[in-house]
Structure 1
């Protein structure tokens, strides 16, 4: 029986940070160094045992919030938010200066001896006009944007999560393309372009365990280029438990040629919110918690990593007292950290 839909909107890409400063951030990274591994884009074997398998941005929103609390003498709050700021979270590439931003981020990571974790989120008609509306004006502009990101990454190591919700919104009928398959063609082209970079791995977003049954997603993923991708991502910006996310991913993997996958564990420590309006339970739900810290050691050969793809502490949208999607929501961040096991 198909699972009931549970759509959600990922965070809007973050505001641009000063690019000159970003180029120096690798020197300030709070993680240890990794070494290049055999798999393009992934941290090497020594990084698997490090606290952070990817680069930690020392100028991220959580780090700035920690600094603000310390400056105000709120040491307890600063300590709580340290549970977020010391772990690597994905960097969502913005729409305006993709090449420069991708270059600055990957150069900073490379200086720390680590790979970058990036999210590409600019598909036309993004989020069906909801909390994270926007995206490239058309397919041609989108492919130019992807090409710019790829040039910015260059030969440096990066793991890319490609277009949260893009496939799922076709499956659930939210997105109606002008021509059948238009979005799939864009995603195929994006996968192929990114894979031309020598040390990039690409994971197509594949929804979450509460949105659609794996059987409904297998053919759309094939049309979107999963065969050429390194794998797929599940539970991005959602709250499904790691156990059910892994079960969902394994079932889907069996339908798409045994592809491995990554799981977003950023906010799934207490599982999904089950009260209130089911259609809004993805948006800043109360009582949630940080999940497993990012790691490459999952104990399952199909599960490539547990990652924090959604950045904990950033709002899902203007619901339950939150600011706009992607903006820092301090009270929510503190709750996530306070509830973490």
Structure 2
């Protein structure tokens, strides 16, 4: 993805600033473990999972936008951008429609140029360090094995605005230093997880869209990809009373990301949840036409081929939307439960695809080793499940 022009970046900043000042009003609106606090090195640290997210400082958001405004006056190398005094041509302004078309048409080799980013300070790496210090050699080795693969960085209400900006900026800078592409996950929709193991999220739709605008402002102008709100659309079938108007909320969030030039993949469940035609209708209502495409099998266990059959049907029903598949824990297929499934194993390692189908990449979107919740012997959602990580590595897919 190419960098945005200064004019376009300024437009994004203005839109984000307005959103933060006046709020965004929309119609009122399974289970994924929220990652542990990135600042914690404890394998038992857990994020807040109460239904009300922690209070955020409006001043930190203002500082973030002010910093982004300043950064928007500079090119990708950090040098000031000045108009050519000899030029009489009118600068090209990229329209939202043009940005969306670029997002949809960019080759995967360009979108993921340099390969997928491996975070040396990711959750598995931190767990490995802690477990080593505690003398838990086998568990540390499993965590270290997982840490060597590119895993998505999850963003949600366990981060304050200041922490959110620091996390995004640090990850993007580190990825750009090695020329790789980082993958993020937004996981902050109101009534997240229908109040189950990973309950929480933004207080309401307006707060969510303000938060999403801040995320978009930090990602604008960088080569990144984002998976939008795992389970948010599929859970409409499970808790309709808590998800009223959700498609419109996600559509607004996706539009903000698209205007910032950020390719997004809307979560589309898996091959054994919502029928393809039903999911396609929800994706359309949620703005998939402005996104890169959709994601399947997030945090689940279904085989790649089952997911590809499902995803191709959804793609056809959405006008050819592209897709990615989560292979983080599908090495042994479905094991009868989604929550810390016994007998599960790591799937094939992440890779960018260049074939003739609509498949962009096989990704580790879920963090292998992070607990789904207090089920099948697991700790609370988001805590590192050391013994489970050992199992996942022992049962990993071969080939």
TM-score, normalised on structure 1?
0.82
The answer to whether the Cα contact below 8 Å between 1:239 and 1:282 also exists between their aligned partners in 2 is: yes
| Secondary structure of the structure 1 residue equivalent to 2:156 | coil
CA–CA separation in structure 2 for the residues paired with 1:196 and 1:294: 28
Compute the displacement of 1:47 (Å).
6.4
The aligned runs of 1:305-324 (5 Å cut-off) are: 305-324=361-380
Show the counterpart of 1:114.
Answer: 180
Question: Deviation per CA, 1:72-129, whole angstroms, max 9, x where unpaired?
Answer: 5665544443331100101111322233332222122122211210000111111111
TM-score, normalised on structure 2?
0.71
The aligned runs of 1:1-341 (5 Å cut-off) are: 8-17=30-39, 44=109, 53-71=115-133, 76-95=138-157, 96-97=160-161, 98-170=164-236, 172-177=237-242, 180=244, 182-198=245-261, 200-274=262-336, 281-297=337-353, 299-340=355-396, 341=398
Alignment RMSD (CA, Å) = 2.4
Compute the displacement of 1:300 (Å).
4.7
| Secondary structure of the structure 1 residue equivalent to 2:129 | helix
Compute the displacement of 1:254 (Å).
0.9
CA–CA separation in structure 2 for the residues paired with 1:297 and 1:330: 31
CA–CA separation in structure 1 for the residues paired with 2:270 and 2:111: 30
CA–CA separation in structure 1 for the residues paired with 2:107 and 2:166: 22
The answer to whether the Cα contact below 8 Å between 2:296 and 2:325 also exists between their aligned partners in 1 is: yes
| Secondary structure of the structure 1 residue equivalent to 2:263 | strand
| Secondary structure of the structure 2 residue equivalent to 1:133 | coil
The answer to whether the Cα contact below 8 Å between 2:321 and 2:358 also exists between their aligned partners in 1 is: yes
| Secondary structure of the structure 1 residue equivalent to 2:290 | coil
Compute the displacement of 1:177 (Å).
4.8
CA–CA separation in structure 2 for the residues paired with 1:106 and 1:71: 29
The answer to whether the Cα contact below 8 Å between 1:77 and 1:334 also exists between their aligned partners in 2 is: yes
Structure 2 residues not aligned, in runs of 5+: 1-29, 41-100
CA–CA separation in structure 2 for the residues paired with 1:71 and 1:12: 25
| Secondary structure of the structure 2 residue equivalent to 1:93 | strand
Question: Deviation per CA, 1:158-206, whole angstroms, max 9, x where unpaired?
Answer: 1100011111111x1413258x5x21111011111011223x2100000
**Deviates further, 294-303 or 281-290:** 294-303
How many residues were matched structurally?
A: 302
Question: Deviation per CA, 1:41-73, whole angstroms, max 9, x where unpaired?
Answer: 98746967x7xx321111122112333444456
The answer to whether the Cα contact below 8 Å between 1:100 and 1:152 also exists between their aligned partners in 2 is: no
CA–CA separation in structure 2 for the residues paired with 1:131 and 1:175: 18
CA–CA separation in structure 1 for the residues paired with 2:345 and 2:354: 19
The answer to whether the Cα contact below 8 Å between 1:204 and 1:232 also exists between their aligned partners in 2 is: yes
